[in-house]
Amino acid sequence: MAFAITQTCCNDASCVSVCPVNCIHPTPDDPDFGSTDMLYVDPQACIDCGACADACPVDAIFPVDRLVGPDSVYADLNRQYYETRPADHTWGEPRYPRSVPGDVGPLRIAIVGTGPAACYTAQSLLRSTSAEVTMLDRMPVPGGLVRFGVAPDHPSTKKVGDSFSALYRHPRLTLHLNVDVGRDVTHEEVAAHHHAVIYAVGAANDRMLGIPGEDMAGSISATEFVGWYNSHPDIPATAIDLSAERVAVIGNGNVALDVARILVTGPDRLAGTDIADHALAALRRSRVREVVVLGRRGPEHAAYTRPEFLALHQLPGVDVVVDDDPAVGDTIAAAEPGSKAALLDGVPAEKVDWAGPPPEGRRIVFRFLSSPLELDGDGRVESVRVDRADEADTIAAGLVIRSIGYRSVPVAGLPFDAATATVPHRAGRVLGTAAGGQVAGTYVVGWIKRGPSGGIGANRTCSAETVDSVLDDAAAGRLPVPAGTGKDFARLVRRRKPDTLGRREMLAIDRAERRRGRDAGRPRVKFATVAELLKAGRRLGAR
């Protein structure tokens, strides 16, 4: 019986490299790698060895005969992928582990950030070289997107973080947490103590709508909402008001669906997750009954992935409907099987009274072909005015959450392309002159390198390219020689930021959160403020 990949696929291709018959696609060598919703097993070629399931970091791969309930659809989805594509399982060129010549000497490399891109990069460097790696993060805890971005009801996706846990214990890795590069230490100071500096700082800001009323109370970003329910120290516990009965989410990507799903999921269902305590308490008091997901274009152009949409049908007591519109209905009826629009085939279409309160019960309404024009209200958002086919319509909503993408911010000491919100680079090498000259010893990886596209697993192949550039430059003698040592840098950090945390304190916080979770019947209960994190790390790490 063949295996199949299911909803929680992270696309990092760990399964591809262990498959003995090359029956999992797209591989990193395939042109559509990174653009498909997930990876797929060819049931005709699979030999049922189970190697892929053992390698999967997020437990997304199962034998087809063990798929039950909502997951049973993935047997067909894996098979259908190969019905429209040639099943070529010829092996590509082998990729051998990189290394540097012995006469180069030991390298000392700094990585700014501790999210997936940073961790994949550090793993690669530590496995293929004898380099000493320094990781820095402005947060008192590592994890980046895995800790602060993945929805709490996606525990399997969070398991990719477990694959990084051994990394933090590596004897050649040093952690400096609660240190802001650019404020506490400069890029020049980091570079002066390392052969190379790799920035993996992600995309911390959200994009703006650019419409009137966007700055009113009750208008927030998905970044803020996601951080709020994930205990991000930058987001106060009181930041979100859930007193409105209808919420409008502008945008229809995966993050928009995360937001909608959390808003209507029963609190008891979330009580067994690592959701922030303050968010769980607020959701228990919430008056939200309806979430309207607004898309500027039609259903064929929806930005969410198929697995994320299918997950909505697993919510007990939550209806999923489409706002009834002739153009949208025609698109769904004519949709090709397997397309985005075809996902809505069979989803009820309803006329919605946008001026009145939502009906009893909880539901998610998809409304397409609707461009936001203005947020209206008397000091606080009361409605959003949208344009559909050159006709304005007003949707009563007491909370509007924009989810139209992320945007990186400039990195102090590095060039920045405001148009793409990325650092100019060539294969990860930072470019700093009009002629395209490289900033010696400086590199980027992840969203700051390629823009906010691709999920967690996409960072694995992204990091491989950057690491190759670092090692090629090392072998060619292009890396600058640091003036200071690793110990010198550690002393500098402690002098500038006395409350910096290291490996011992990080492990103490992890143990404390897990212990709090065991006491509450949850995977962990996070500390939600910098003060709490510092106190737990210092008090428990000193033992």
DSSP conformation letters of 291-320: EEEE-SS-GGG--S-HHHHHHGGG-TTEEE
> How buried is 298 (Cβ within 10 angstroms: 0-12 exposed, 13-18 middle, 19+ buried)?
middle
Residue spans of the chain under pLDDT 50: 541, 543
Final residue belonging to a domain, choices 83, 113, 131: 83
Residues 318, 425: one domain? no
List C-alpha distances in Å: 283 to 119, 161, 221, 245, 513. 33, 26, 18, 12, 22
List C-alpha distances in Å: 22 to 83, 96, 303. 17, 17, 29
- CATH number of the CATH domain containing 79: 3.30.70.20
Residue in 243, 221, 254, 234 with CA at minimum distance from that of residue 400: 221
Question: Which amino acid is present at 506?
Answer: M
Q: Is 506 helix (H, G, I), strand (E, B) or coil?
A: helix
> Which residues are bridge partners to 198 per DSSP?
111, 443
Final residue belonging to a domain, choices 404, 437, 458: 404
Q: What pLDDT sits at residue 352? A: 94
CA distance 343 to 353: 24
pTM for this predicted structure? 0.93
Residue 521 lies in a domain: no
Helices (H), 476-542: 486-496, 503-520, 530-541
List C-alpha distances in Å: 88 to 10, 84, 298, 521. 23, 12, 34, 47
CA distance 407 to 96: 35
DSSP 172-215: TEEEEES--BTTTB-HHHHHTT-SEEEE-----EE-----TTTT
Residues 116, 66: one domain? no
Q: What pLDDT sits at residue 85? A: 83
Residues 396, 331: one domain? yes
Residues 328, 425: one domain? no
Residue 288 lies in a domain: yes
Residue 539 lies in a domain: no
User: H-helix or E-strand containing 286?
Assistant: none
Token output for 493: 């950090």
Taking the mean position of all CA atoms in its chain, how far away is CA 285? Answer: 28
Residues 320, 412: one domain? no
Q: How many Cβ atoms from other residues are within 10 Å of residue 477's Cβ? A: 10
Q: Is 363 helix (H, G, I), strand (E, B) or coil?
A: strand
Residues 69, 184: one domain? no
Q: How many domains does the chain have?
A: 3
Residue 180 lies in a domain: yes
What crossing angle do the helices spanning 458-475 and 116-128 adopt, rounded to 10°?
A: 40
Q: How many Cβ atoms from other residues are within 10 Å of residue 159's Cβ? A: 18
Residue 514 lies in a domain: no
Q: What pLDDT sits at residue 70? A: 84
Q: Is 374 helix (H, G, I), strand (E, B) or coil?
A: strand
Residue 278 lies in a domain: yes
Token output for 394: 């007003």
Say if residues 108 and 486 touch (Cβ distance below 8 Å). yes
- CATH number of the CATH domain containing 175: 3.40.50.720
Return the DSSP state at 482: P
Domain hosting residue 174, numbered range: 103-204+408-500
CA distance 542 to 509: 12
Taking the mean position of all CA atoms in its chain, how far away is CA 274? Answer: 16
Residues 323, 263: one domain? yes
User: H-helix or E-strand containing 48?
Assistant: none
CA distance 364 to 265: 11
Residues 216, 292: one domain? yes
Question: Which amino acid is present at 64?
Answer: V
Say if residues 129 and 121 touch (Cβ distance below 8 Å). no
CA distance 176 to 142: 10
Residue in 202, 117, 197 with CA at minimum distance from that of residue 470: 197
List Cβ<8 Å contacts ≥24 apart for 414-417.
414/187, 414/199, 414/439, 414/442, 415/439
Q: What pLDDT sits at residue 187? A: 96
Residues 303, 430: one domain? no
Return the C-alpha torsion angle 436, 437, 440, 441, nearest 10. Answer: 20
Residues 286, 433: one domain? no
Say if residues 128 and 157 touch (Cβ distance below 8 Å). no
Residue 97 lies in a domain: no
Residue 535 lies in a domain: no
For 77, what's the count of Cα atoms within 13 Å in the CB-facing half-sphere? Answer: 23
Q: What pLDDT sits at residue 429? A: 97
Residues 348, 488: one domain? no
Residues 253, 381: one domain? yes
